Amino acid sequence: MALLFTEKNTAIRQTVFDALNSTKITDIHTHLYTPSFGDILLWGIDDLLVYHYLVAEAMRWLDVPYDMFWAMSKRDQADLIWKALFIDHSPISEASRGVLTTLQALGLDTSSRDLDSYRRFFAEWKIEDYVDRVFELANLEGLVMTNDPFDDLERPAWLEFKAVDPRFHAVLRLDTLLNDWPNAVPKLNSWGYTVDLVPGRETYVEIRRFLRDWAGRINAIYMAASLPPTFAYPDDSVRSDLLKNCVFPVAAETGLPMGLMIGSKRAVNPQLKLAGDSVGRGNIEAVEHICQENPNIKFLLTMLGRENQHEVCVAARKFRNLHVFGCWWYVNIPSLIEEITRMRVELLGLGMTPQHSDARVLDQVIYKWSHSRKIIGDVLTEKYTDLAATGWIVSEAEIRRDIAGLLGGNFWDFIKR
Ligand code: RAT
Ligand code: ZN
C-alpha cells in the first residue's frame, strides 16, 4: 500500500520531487514549430542569445543605435549580447540564467565561458535528433504551438501540408484577426473570404468559414488571442463583434476552447521590435462577462499583469468553463511564479495548469521547465506538509496523480471535456 506521510517534510519533499521529475509534461503554450517547418523552428546558442527577453536587457547596457543592431547578423548580435549580459556583468536575470541552465543540462562546461565551443556543439546536431534530446531533457511529452494563419512565414508550410510531428499540437491564433482587422481584411479577401471593413452578416459567415477551415487544416486543439490591457467585452469594437458573431459560435460548434491572454501592450518601444511590448493591467470584468454569457464554451485564461492574478483566481472559482494557466512572460520569473502558484493552489486547489514555457527557442523548454518545476515542487511540498499536519494521509500515488494533472492532465481533461 501507499506510503504514508504523517510528519517529515523531507519525505514529502522527496516524493513530490520524484513525481515532478518523472512526470511527462504537456507544455500548453509555446512559439515553437514542428521541425518539418524548417528554419522557423529556432534552436541553438545564437537563437538562445538573441531571444527578445535578452535583447531588451542587453540594450540597456549597449549604446549601439537600434537600426545598426537590427542590421547585424544573428551571430554578431549574439556576440554583443553575450558580452553585455554574461561577460561585462554577471548573468543573474532569469532569462540569462536560463541560457546557462540550458547549456549545463546539455553537458556543456559553463565555467569555460567559451562561446565558440558552444557554437561548435550545436553545429554537430541534426534538428530531428536534437528535438528528441531536448524533449528528453525537459521531460516533455508534447507541446502546443502558436499558429497564426496571417503569419507569412508559417502559412505556406500549412498550405504545403508538411507532416507535423505528433508531439507538436496546433493552436489557431487569432491576434491578427482580432487585433488588426484593417490589415486582415485585404488578406482575407485575397484568400477568397469575402469580408467588409465594417463587418455584417455576410462577413460573419465568411469569418466563421475561415475559422473552421483553418482549425481543420492545422488540427487545432484550441483557439487563442493575446489581447491588450484595454480589452473590454462587450463594447462597440470590431473585436467584440467578431468574438460574439464568429469566434464564440465556432467555439460552441466545434467544442474548441478559446484562450484569452490579456495584458500585452504591443510596441511600447517599436524600435525594440519583438522586445518592445509591455504590460498593463487588464479588466477581469470582460472575462466574467464572456464566461457568464457563454456557459457552453470553454475558456483558457492567463493574464500578464501581476495585479490581475488574484482576481483571475477568483473568476475561475465562479466559472467552471474557465481554466487558468501559466505564468505568462513578465510574470514568468521565480519570485512571481512562486507567489502566483501558491495563490492558485490556495484558491483553486489543483484545478488549473500552473505553467507553460512560452519558449520561442526549442532549447528554452529545458530551463523554463527546470526552473518552474523547482518552484512548483517547493509550493506543493509546503501544501502537502500542511495537509499532513491535519492528520490527512496522502499516498504517493495520490501525489503522482495530482502532479500529473498539473503538468498537463488537467489541461487535456479540460480540452476533452
Ligand atoms: O513571451 C513571448 O515571447 C511574447 O513575445 C509573446 O509571444 C507572448 O507570449 C504571446 O504569446 O503573445
Ligand atoms: Zn506566447
Q: How far is the CA of 164 from the centre of ligand 2 (A)?
A: 20
Question: Ligand 1 atom 5: the closest Cα is on which residue?
Answer: 274
Q: What's the predicted TM-score (pTM) here? A: 0.97
In ligand 1, which atom is closest to the CA atom of 53?
Answer: 3
CA 263–ligand 2 middle distance (angstroms): 12
In order of their start, the domains of the chain are 30-34+161-324 (3.20.20.140)
12 CA distance to ligand 1 centroid (A)? 35
Report the atom number in ligand 1 closest to the C-alpha of 175.
12
Per-residue pLDDT of the chain (417 residues; tens, 9 = 90+): 344 444 568 999 999 999 999 999 999 999 999 999 999 999 999 999 999 999 999 999 999 999 999 999 999 999 999 999 999 999 999 999 999 999 999 999 999 999 999 999 999 999 999 999 999 999 999 999 999 999 999 999 999 988 999 999 999 999 999 999 999 999 999 999 999 999 999 999 999 999 999 999 999 999 999 999 999 999 999 999 999 999 999 999 999 999 999 999 999 999 999 999 999 999 999 999 999 999 999 999 999 999 999 999 999 999 999 999 999 999 999 999 999 999 999 999 999 999 999 999 999 999 999 999 999 999 999 999 999 999 999 999 999 999 999 999 999 999 999
Probe target for ligand 1 pocket from 94, 144, 175, 264, with the most ligand atoms within 8 Å of CB: 264
Three-state SS across the chain?
Answer: CCCCCCCCHHHHHHHHHHHHHHCCEEECCCCCCCHHHHHHCECCHHHHHCCHHHHHHHHCCCCCCHHHHHHCCHHHHHHHHHHHHHHCCCCCCHHHHHHHHHHHHCCCCHHHCCHHHHHHHHHCCCHHHHHHHHHHHHCEEEEECCECCCCCCCHHHHHCCCCCCCCEEEEEECHHHHHCHHHHHHHHHHCCCCCCCCCCHHHHHHHHHHHHHHHHHHCEEEEEEEECCCCCCCCCCHHHHHHHHHHHHHHHHHCCCEEEEECEECCCCHHHHHHHCEECCCCHHHHHHHHHHCCCCCEEEEECCHHHHHHHHHHHHHCCCEEEECCCHHHCCHHHHHHHHHHHHHHHCCCCECCCCCCCECCHHHHHHHHHHHHHHHHHHHHHHHHHHCCCCCCHHHHHHHHHHHHHHHHHHHHHC
- What atom of ligand 1 comes closest to residue 29's alpha carbon? 11
Helix axis angle for 309-318 and 334-348, nearest 10°, is: 20
Pull the grid cell for residue 295.
Answer: 456557459
Amino acid at 2: A
Pocket of ligand 1 (CB under 6 A): 31, 146, 226, 261, 264, 274, 329, 358, 360
Residue whose CA is closest, atom 4 of ligand 1?
329
Spacing, Cα 51 to ligand 2 middle (Å): 13
Residue to probe by mutation, ligand 1, list 144, 148, 226, most atoms within 8 Å of CB:
226
For the CA of 226, the closest atom of ligand 1 is 12
Q: Which ligand is nearest the CA of 331, by number?
A: 1
Distance 363 CA to ligand 2 centre (A): 16
Give 116 Cα–ligand 2 centroid separation in angstroms.
Answer: 30
Of ligand 1's listed atoms, the one at least distance from the Cα of 277 is 5
Provide the grid cell at 137: 531533457
- Rounded to the nearest angstrom, the distance between the alpha carbon of 291 and the centre of ligand 2 is 22
